[in-house]
Amino acid sequence: MKSSKNLGQVANKMFRALEHLPDAKENTPGSGKQQAPSAGIARAAGPQLLQRPTVSIIAEDLLIEGKIRAKGDIELRGELQGDLNTDGNILVSGKVAGDLQGRGVQILRGEVKGNITAHEGVTVDQGSLVIGDISAESIQAAGRLKGNLKVKGKTVLADGAFLLGNVETCFLSLEEGAIITGSIQMEDGKADELFSKDGARKKPEAKNAQDGRQPAVQ
């Protein structure tokens, strides 16, 4: 009985000691105690596209079947069979069989079989494959692309880029070693204006000819 009583007293002392240990949740910067780095801070040295604190990561060993709708940044390392639509940025280093839509899109040694729509820029590195149309504010690509590009701003095809499709852009930079199999249409809004001015200079002469009068000789 005495031994049981002593064990009970030791257990009570241990529980009281545990109650006074600091909680991990209380390790705030203002408390003066060291705080464990969060996942967002630990990834700050990664791609510049994803530095916001709200980054959802789909790990390498995950396979998702179905559509994804999000508000923050998405980093996809695994495989997605379905569309991904987010208000944030998208980084793909895995495989996607579906359409992507976001603020900006980076394909880093990834594979996308679907259309890409970005409100800002799209980057496709040399080890990546995209089969589908791309619509974006700007495109910088060094990988393999099969589909049409519709770009509001500048399109840069770096050394090693291969495009099988048509390009519609305002500015095009084609580095040595890049290949395009398709048509190129560049629009800057000045072509119609230039031709309309030429037409305006010829109109008075055409009017005089219709009136039967010869233009005055200087």
The answer, as to whether pTM is greater than 0.75, is no
Higher pLDDT, 9 or 107: 107
Residue 52 confidence (pLDDT): 53
Percent of the chain whose predicted confidence (pLDDT) is above 70: 61
- 94-111 tens-digit pLDDT: 999 999 999 999 999 999
Cβ of 55: how many Cβ atoms within 10 Å? 19
Asked whether the predicted pLDDT for residue 128 surpasses 90, the reply is yes
- 138-165 tens-digit pLDDT: 999 999 999 999 999 999 999 999 999 9
Q: How far apart are CA 111 and CA 94, in angstroms?
A: 6
Ordered by start, the domain boundaries in the chain are 40-191
* DSSP calls for 78-103: SEEES-EEESS-EEESSEE-S-EEES
